[in-house]
Structure 1
Amino acid sequence: SLLANVGHCKIGKRIKIHADMALSESCRRYHPSTMPHYKLIYFDARGRAEVTRQLFLLAGQEFEDVRLSKSEWPQHKSEMPFGQLPVLEVDGKQLAQSHAIARYVARQFGHAGKTPFDEALVDSIADQYKDFDTEVWPFFAVLLGFEKGDLEVQLEKTFAPARDKLFTFLTKFLERNGSGYLVGDSLTWADLLLAELDTYSEKIPALYEGFPEMRAHAGKVRSDPILKKWIECRPSSQF
């Protein structure tokens, strides 16, 4: 295995990533002395595994970041619980579905919400984001070259209405909460999920048009020193 960390970002297809940083006070409560071995399996992309990667980095928790190529995937597909990725292995036990994985890791390291009600609010935002993700897929399929089509038409008819709906809802969360985060007074995995959209801001210049609060939210989340360093040197990928 190649070794990578947010300080050096030596990247390979099958790597161990660790953050050489002290755990925050909020994380220590969720960080037992003997930690399991974590292996995150996904494609060589940010995609549906990126939030979980960021959660591990924020916690200072070493994990194995296995990135399968398209040619490697068919031989491993039958090994996965639902025949899809991502999959998280915890001491060899498999957990599938991206939101279930992110929620589990967030709970382990204190980024799921500080109260049961806050956890439910975070989950509700993640579920709403999943609806958005489904709605905008026709646009991203064209943007990323998976399908042919008129990108401007998809932007206007598919992406913009879904973006407006989601961002209007979440702006209200930010205004009511008042901390700069979507829920509570600290970062949760819902914040990471939404802020990762900022990756597309160069390809979608109007991403935050009419929603300055969402732009500020992404800036706040991505200004975290650990995340900032990771974003600067993480493996480049189309999505």
Structure 2
Amino acid sequence: MTSSTYKLTYFTVMALGEPIRWLLSYGGLQFQDIRLCHEEWEAQKNKSPFGALPLLEIDGKVMHQSVAICRYLGAVVGLSGKNAWENFEIDIVVDSISDLRTKIATYNKLPNSSQTRAQLRLALLNETIPFYLNRFEKMASEGYVANGKLS
């Protein structure tokens, strides 16, 4: 049996590429970790499926969409649910984290001098982030956020 070859392409920051790196590392899957600066990416962007990163190439097949990649790798390394309900519970957590990330990203994209940015910062720090973190903490009260096991 031959093992697959993995090649992750992402920017020089952690962000959306980091959960993919964690899953590959957790599973002991050797991978080429290609980190591009924005200028390097701009030169290659039109060759990708939707002009976005991260990309994970597995045995020459190019995958995109970070959450879909993580779901796939979760199954490969044994971290997915054992049935549709358990996968649904994992998806709830993943999508909730994505919602929080989107709210933070919206703030980060506003100009520094924007009054809206200042107001959004206060709302994030005093309302949004505590709201999400309190709920995640409640979900993890027994040690895991889904299914009572690492997932």
TM-score, scaled to structure 1: 0.57
Provide the C-alpha distance between the structure 2 equivalents of 1:111 and 1:174, rounded to a whole number of angstroms: 16
- Structure 1, unmatched stretches of 5+, are 1-32, 189-239
Provide the C-alpha distance between the structure 1 equivalents of 2:126 and 2:51, rounded to a whole number of angstroms: 32
- Structure 2, unmatched stretches of 5+, are none
Query: In the TM superposition, what is the alpha-carbon distance from 1:153 to its structure 2 partner?
Result: 4.3
Task: Please name the residue that 1:172 is paired with.
Answer: 138
- 1:76 matched to 2:39? The reply is no
Task: Please name the residue that 1:231 is paired with.
Answer: none
Q: Deviations over 1:185-236 (max 9, x none)?
A: 3322xxxxxxxxxxxxxxxxxxxxxxxxxxxxxxxxxxxxxxxxxxxxxxxx
Task: Please name the residue that 1:194 is paired with.
Answer: none
Provide the C-alpha distance between the structure 2 equivalents of 1:77 and 1:160, rounded to a whole number of angstroms: 38
In structure 2, the CA distance between the partners of 1:135 and 1:77, relative to structure 1 (3 Å rule), is: same
1:43 to 11, 22, 44: 11
Q: Deviations over 1:159-210 (max 9, x none)?
A: 43221232233233223xx2x111133322xxxxxxxxxxxxxxxxxxxxxx
CA RMSD of aligned residues (A): 2.0
Provide the C-alpha distance between the structure 2 equivalents of 1:118 and 1:91, rounded to a whole number of angstroms: 29
- Which residue identity lines up with residue 81 of structure 1 in the other structure? P
Q: Is the 8 A contact 1:136 1:158 kept in 2?
A: yes
- 1:162 matched to 2:128? The reply is yes
In structure 2, the CA distance between the partners of 1:185 and 1:140, relative to structure 1 (3 Å rule), is: same
Structure with the largest fraction of helix: 2
Q: Is the 8 A contact 2:86 2:146 kept in 1?
A: yes
Aligned positions of 1:1-239 closer than 5 A: 33-141=1-109, 147-149=111-113, 153-175=119-141, 178=142, 180-188=143-151
Query: In the TM superposition, what is the alpha-carbon distance from 1:116 to its structure 2 partner?
Result: 2.7
- Which residue identity lines up with residue 132 of structure 2 in the other structure? L
Query: In the TM superposition, what is the alpha-carbon distance from 1:133 to its structure 2 partner?
Result: 1.3
- Which residue identity lines up with residue 86 of structure 2 in the other structure? D
Q: Is the 8 A contact 1:136 1:162 kept in 2?
A: no
Query: In the TM superposition, what is the alpha-carbon distance from 1:34 to its structure 2 partner?
Result: 2.7
Provide the C-alpha distance between the structure 1 equivalents of 2:125 and 2:2, rounded to a whole number of angstroms: 45
Number of residue pairs aligned between Structure 1 and Structure 2: 149
Q: Is the 8 A contact 2:89 2:147 kept in 1?
A: no
- Identity fraction in percent: 30
